[in-house]
Amino acid sequence: MRGESLLFATVGALAALAVFALVLRPLWRERAARLPAAALVAGLALAALLLYRLVGTPAALDPAARTAPATLEDAIAQLEARLQADPAQAEGWRLLGQAQAAAQRPAAAADAFARAAALAPDDADVLVEAAEARALAAPERRFDDRAIAWLDRALQLQPDHQRARWFRGIARRQAGDAAGAAETWAPLLAQVDAGAAAALREQIDAARADAGLPPLPANTRAAAPAAAAGAHAIRVRVSLDPGFAARVRLDGDAAVFVVARVPGGSPMPVAAERHAVSELPFEAVLDDADGPMPTAKLSGVAEVELVARLSRSGDATAQPGDPASAPVRVRLPADGPVELVIGAPR
């Protein structure tokens, strides 16, 4: 029993670390102008909560492999063996799909998520993950009929599912139905913060223009961004120091990571976002939706340390010499925007 729980706990830990190191990005709402690719793979952190429900009765599994896997590859191999012994586990296939995505095997991830969707046809989250994985595995990253059917079912089950609605709009845009895409995306304006709403509105208006329709009225939004953000949301304003900006040259791969951590605690952030360097200066809102681990949320801590880091390669893993802002400690809830200046003299 202990060996089984150790295996699955290690699977979750390795998966979460792999995601943070390889594909740490904001949720779709922070990059509404683009098709999310690896961003949503951050759902791998859910593995930590699925482990004990994964196999039902651990004693029913092969007890031979008691050694915890040392790498993500070992974890995938052992998880595949467990599922081969007991394949009727939707959450197990979902976890395998997330792990395969972290290992950058889109086809294998799509196959695993499809198995999960077949076993859990009434779970909107699983259906959306399966549709996304199928699109990412396609040569042109298009949503085909099967993926669209999953998205439609997810929206039938949960009409306010943001990712399902976002992806369904993308599928309509890919199919040349610009008016349908705009109509599908419009309800999201009531669910996202001001920054995401502005980017989303651009996409909606562009789709409406392609369909020969006028832009949305300026007041088309049903929810107040402050209320949607939550009491523990933190507004940050990120900029480059003028002197630093004058002497540095950055290419299109550069990115800015805004991270909130517990002071003196785990290096894993409680919230993080990725932004293109072309967005500088920008304002962002960190909240629970930006947390890579479901067990460590921004709303669950009293104080955080904020830092903005410039990555020339665009990699989420910090590299020696990466310019960063001075860390700023903030007690929650925070009052005004927190200024983070990258490259300022210290």
3-state secondary structure the chain: CHHHHHHHHHHHHHHHHHHHHHHCCCCHHHHCCCCCCCHHHHHHHHHHHHHHHHCCCHHHCCCCCCCCCCCHHHHHHHHHHHHHHCCCCHHHHHHHHHHHHHCCCHHHHHHHHHHHHHHCCCCHHHHHHHHHHHHHHCCCCCCCHHHHHHHHHHHHHCCCCHHHHHHHHHHHHHCCCHHHHHHHHHHHHHCCCHHHHHHHHHHHHHHHHHCCCCCCCCCCCCCCHHHHHCCCCEEEEEEECHHHHHHCCCCCCCEEEEEEECCCCCCCCCEEEEEEHHHCCEEEEECHHHCCCCCCCHHHCCEEEEEEEEECCCCCCCCCCCCEECCEEEECCCCCCEEEEECCCC
Tell me, what's the pLDDT at 166?
93
**What is the spatial order of strands in the sheet that 234-240 belongs to?**
282-286, 234-240, 338-342
pLDDT above 60: residue 65 = no
CB 273 within 8 A of CB 258: yes
How far apart CA 20 and CA 31 sit, in angstroms, is 18
Question: pLDDT band at residue 295, thresholds of 50, 70 and 90?
Answer: low
pLDDT per residue as tens digits for the range 112-164: 999 999 999 999 999 999 999 999 999 889 999 999 999 999 999 988 899 99
Quick one: average pLDDT of 243-261? 84
CATH 1.25.40.10 intervals, the chain: 2-159
- Nearest of 13, 12, 28, 17 to residue 273 by alpha carbon: 28
Tokens representing 257 are 């990571």
pLDDT above 90: residue 338 = yes
Q: What is 2-159's CATH number, 3.10.20.30, 1.25.40.10, 1.10.10.10, 3.40.50.300?
A: 1.25.40.10
CATH 2.60.40 intervals, the chain: 230-342
Tell me, what's the pLDDT at 294?
62
CB 24 within 8 A of CB 13: no
More confident call, 100 vs 14: 100
Average pLDDT taken over every residue of the chain: 76
Between helix 2-23 and helix 72-85 the angle, nearest 10°, is: 130
Residue whose entry in the numeric block shows the structure tokens 């959306």: 128
pLDDT above 60: residue 247 = yes
pLDDT above 60: residue 97 = yes
Tokens representing 321 are 């010499």
pLDDT above 90: residue 24 = no
pLDDT per residue as tens digits for the range 70-92: 677 887 888 888 898 999 989 88
Q: Return the exposure string of 45-57: e unless at least 16 CB atoms fall within 10 Å of the residue's CB, then b.
A: bbbbebbeebbee
pLDDT above 50: residue 186 = yes
How far apart CA 192 and CA 30 sit, in angstroms, is 9
Taking the CB of residue 196, how many other CB atoms lie within 10 A of it?
A: 26
**Which CATH architecture fits 230-342?**
Sandwich (2.60)
